[in-house]
Amino acid sequence: MEAQTTSRKHIPVLPALINCKCPRCRVGKVYEHGAYHLFDNKMIPQCSHCGLVYEKEPGYFYAAMYVGYAFIVAELVTSGVAIGILTGSNNPWLYVIVMLSLVAVLSPFNYRYSRMLLLYFLTPGLRYRPELS
Ligand SMILES: [Zn+2]
């Protein structure tokens, strides 16, 4: 008995997610540029490789706000605890300035990866299809 071999290569989920590849074929790009490309963090509307339309209905990416909210809460709690442990300060302005600056700096990351997590794990019926890659 011989295992069936194909010329298709299985692409693991984590590198595809980190590199913002299409959730269905894991080959096509989802964004035109990198996360910190100045003033241009647009999604490509359709996968160039398999033709998947990323926004399956108008307003679909509003759901990514919930994922982004979880990111921001995690960042605020982590940075608040880190400031408390590292400085031991009781000055609330130190906490406010550092925590809000961190959230502002990470906002392109939050925007991008909240949509990617929505596409990869929270979209019903959208799965990886290795035969398309
Ligand atoms: Zn694709």
Locate the domains of the chain by residue range: 13-132
Tokens standing for 78?
């982590």
Give the pLDDT score at 7.
52
pTM: 0.83
Nearest CA to 50 out of 113, 5, 109, 8 is that of: 8
Distance 7 CA to ligand 1 centre (A): 18
Tokens standing for 67?
């994922």
Distance 61 CA to ligand 1 centre (A): 18
**What pLDDT band is residue 8 in, cutting at 50, 70 and 90?**
low
* 77-98 residue pLDDT tens: 999 999 999 999 999 999 999 9
Distance 21 CA to ligand 1 centre (A): 8
* 32-75 residue pLDDT tens: 887 677 667 789 999 999 999 999 899 999 999 999 999 999 99
